[in-house]
Structure 1
Amino acid sequence: MSLDKKQRSTTTSEFNQSLAQLHLTVAELAEFFQVTSDKIQSIIDMDERLPENVWILRNNLLERFKEQNITPIQFSQLQGDYRNYWFLDSQLIDRKTLV
């Protein structure tokens, strides 16, 4: 599955909306995942070479919404169970660690 330019832009917007709603910064996410802020921004901007990282970040944000009892932003392109996508390494996503 490949996203076109508009879909990538929409997903970036959805990530940014999620961060705003959760009052999170890129730096805070970078610290949590023990990566650089540039790495997190690359994922948010959909410039990431590994689609699994996009799903790891998405899942982390959805978990935070749940923990805070906040209705999450719906990701229009990142839907469903990642285990059902043949092209994703679900074991990598399950580790919850950005690569």
Structure 2
Amino acid sequence: MTTPIVGTGVGTISTGTPFVRPGLFQPYGPREVLGIEPEVPLTQPAGARVVTAAAARLGHRLDRAQARAAMGWVKQQDYRSGRAVVDDRVFAGDLDGLRAATTEGSR
């Protein structure tokens, strides 16, 4: 799954240096060579950068505190659900709740 040459993981990056500098870990660009758009699945080891990127993909801008809160939620969600990847719709719902809590807290 995580081998960048074959399998369903082609073009996926989940955390760390591969996220920041994918060229170091991918032998070729999935977009250029295969026409596959790179994906960033939201997984338990995801750091703040990955969580922030996933939120941006869903139309949310996170500050540092929100990114940390969302990262904690992702880690708990993976554990509770028993699934390795958090579904975008579920994450979007959490982000909506996070935004509402932030708005309520600033009043």
Give the TM-score range, shorter chain.
0.3 to 0.5
Q: TM-score, normalised by structure 1?
A: 0.33
More helix per residue:
1
Query: Relative contact order, CA 8 A, sep 6+: which one is greater?
Result: 1
